[in-house]
Amino acid sequence: MKIRRIMTASVSSGSGKTLITCGLLRLLQKKGYRVASFKCGPDFIDPMFHEKVLGEKSLNLDPYLAGPSVCRMLLAEHAEHADLSVMEGVMGFYDGISPASSEGGASDLAAVTDTPVLLIVPARGMSRSALALIRGFLDFGDRSVSKPFERVTSGKRIRGLILNRVSRSFYPVLKDMIEKETGIPVVGYVPVLDDSMTLESRHLGLVLPDEIRDFQQKLDRLAALMEETVDLSKILSLADEACDLPDEEIAGTEEQMLKAVRGNLPCTGNREMDKLRIAVAEDEAFCFLYEDNLALLRKAGAEPVPFSPMHDAHLPEKTDGLILPGGYPELHAEELSRNTGMREEIRKAVVSGLPTHAECGGFLYLHRVLVDPDGRAFPMAGVFPGRVRNTGHLTRFGYASLSGAPFFGIKTGPVRVHEFHYYESDDPGTDFLAEKPSGKRAYRCGFSRTTLYAGFPHIYYPAEPRVAGAFLRQCAAYHEQEVGSICRT
Active site (catalytic) residues: 360
C-alpha dihedral over 225, 227, 230, 232, to 10 degrees? 160
Q: How far apart are CA 19 and CA 36, in angstroms?
A: 17
Identify each DSSP E strand in 275-366 by its residue range: 277-281, 286-288, 303-307, 321-324, 326-327, 356-359
Pairing verdict, β 186-190 and 158-164: parallel
User: Residue 420 gets which letter from DSSP?
Assistant: E
Helices 232-239 and 17-30: crossing angle in degrees, nearest 10, is: 100
Q: Are 6 and 209 in contact (CB under 8 A)?
A: no
Q: For residue 225, count other CB atoms closer than 10 A to its CB.
A: 16
3-state secondary structure of 436: coil
CA distances from 106 to 61, 64, 385, 420 (A): 10, 11, 41, 19
Q: Where are the alpha helices (DSSP H) in 15-164?
A: 17-30, 45-54, 68-78, 106-113, 128-139
Residue 366 DSSP one-character state: T
In sequence order, the 6+-apart residues with CB closer than 8 A to the CB of 245 are 1, 3, 72, 75, 76, 113
Neighbours of 123 (CB within 10 A): 26
Q: Quick one: which of 374, 47, 419 has its CA closest to 208?
A: 47
Do residues 162 and 232 lie in contact, with contact meaning Cβ atoms separated by under 8 Å?
Answer: no
User: Bridge-partner residues for 433, per DSSP?
Assistant: 403, 444
- Which phi-psi region, left, alpha or beta, contains residue 375 (left: φ > 0; alpha: ψ -120 to 50)? left
Q: What are the residues whose beta carbons fall under 8 Å from the beta carbon of 247, sequence distance 6 or more?
A: 1
Amino acid type, 36: A
Residue 306 in 3-state DSSP?
strand
